[in-house]
Amino acid sequence: MPPVDSPLRLLIVVPPLAGHLLPARALALEWASRGHQVSWVGPESALRPVLGPDALVHPTGGRLFREQAVGGAAAVRSLWDGFVVPHTRFTLGAVRRAVREWRPDVVLVDQHSPAGALAAHGAGVRWATFAPSSLEIGDPLGGEGELTSWRDGVLRGLWERADLPADEFTDPRFSPGLLIAPTCRELAGLDRVPAEYALVGPLLAARTELPFPWERLEHGRRRVLVTMGTLSAEVAGDFLHRTAAALAELPDVQAVVAAPGDAPLPPDAVACERVPVLELLERGAVDAVLCHGGMNTVAESLVHGRPLVVAPIRHDQPVTAGRLAALGAALRVDFATATSEQLRAALRAVLDDPGFRAAAQRLGRQLAAGGGAVAAVDRLERFARAPR
């Protein structure tokens, strides 16, 4: 057990995706502010733009992975077959080197980067789980027995391939000691929160300032933020066409759109390839959000009391969209088939019906009560210093 006043070393193992890196970065900044050390494992080309030039990165190199299916059990299978498993195999050697050479006190392991758990277990280093996605928490797909058996086989296969003893098998998605998730009980769909779970709500930190034409936001009009995520630009074109047509029929609403320069836009829209989502919400510059259901965008919207229209595309997004709709904080529309009339009606509903905003504010309060990065690091410190 490290002395109480000694600095601790944290190694973070997350996939090179903004939705996973951004909340982990907020946790890392709070960790470092307490005098501790932090390092990362991953491809520098993906991590540097998010983490900055001073971050300590143990490089893995980069490679392309297969596209994943859209929803349901097929999405889970293709996520693991097309990304998680090959990513784990590709990075395991680099993660093991980082654990061996940097000698962390604790490893924070994203549920979709099992190499961190495999390397930490093999080296006898304690590890905590990081769960920024709702796909692995609770039972989002309704207890599909065949899927559960299939995934158990995949996980055991990774364990065996890492040459770890079969009788020591531990699900690398779940640390037996600590799981940190930037969500809340209702949004995670949990009837009971296990003692080792820390549901801390959004992990937020100041981000690199993005240029934005604030002067183009018109007074006296309500505004809708439209963002379909960094990984969805290549498939969102037709959806943005329908969204533009819907917003054109809402003359009292101004759109703020995160989209490529050639994307279709409604009249008077403010569009940038990247928009400062968190700053827009903090300034109260948008009244509702139309998005794909990524957990970062959803949690940031809710903690600022903004209702949503959600058009889920893949992975955990359909799960999150379903929960938001059931909790009254959002309307769910079909990404592939929703007409401009349906999109217009959904946007009008969440803007005009105060019930949606009230539900979003209630969920936002529950998320904020989790304590964010401060609470996450409190739990992680106690876990790292606990007797073994």
pLDDT tens, residue by residue, 127-155: 999 999 877 886 655 555 777 888 889 99
Decide: residue 317, CB within 10 A, 0-12 exposed, 13-18 middle, 19+ buried: buried
* 72: confidence class by pLDDT, cuts 50, 70, 90: low
Domain limits of the chain?
9-201+370-385, 214-368
Determine the pLDDT at residue 185: 93
Torsion-angle region of 209 (φ positive above 0: left; ψ -120 to 50: alpha; else: beta): beta
Determine the pLDDT at residue 61: 79
* 250: confidence class by pLDDT, cuts 50, 70, 90: very high
pTM score over 0.75: yes
Distance, in Å, from the CA atom of 243 to the CA atom of 335, rounded to the nearest integer, reads 10
Determine the pLDDT at residue 62: 74
CB of 31 within 8 A of CB of 134?
no
Looking at 94-98, 231-235, 236-240, which range is the least confident one? 231-235
Mean confidence (pLDDT) of the chain: 90
CATH number of the structural domain 214-368: 3.40.50.2000
Determine the pLDDT at residue 113: 95
Q: Coil, strand or helix: which one is 17? A: coil
Average pLDDT of 151-178?
A: 94
359 closest CA partner among 290, 283, 308: 308
Q: Across-strand partners of 243?
A: none
Distance, in Å, from the CA atom of 259 to the CA atom of 19, rounded to the nearest integer, reads 17
Domains 9-201+370-385 and 214-368 share a fold: yes
Average pLDDT of 64-90?
A: 75
- Percent of the chain scored above 70 by pLDDT? 92
* 67: confidence class by pLDDT, cuts 50, 70, 90: low
Q: Coil, strand or helix: which one is 108? A: strand
26 closest CA partner among 205, 150, 264: 205
Q: Across-strand partners of 309?
A: 290, 331
Q: E strand or H helix at 37, and its extent?
A: strand 37-42
Fold held by 9-201+370-385: Rossmann fold (3.40.50)
Determine the pLDDT at residue 331: 98
Looking at 38-42, 202-206, 357-361, 369-373, which range is the least confident one? 202-206
Decide: residue 277, CB within 10 A, 0-12 exposed, 13-18 middle, 19+ buried: buried
Q: How far is CA 359 from CA 12, 289, 365, in A?
A: 34, 14, 10
Q: Coil, strand or helix: which one is 127? A: strand
Average pLDDT of 304-320?
A: 91
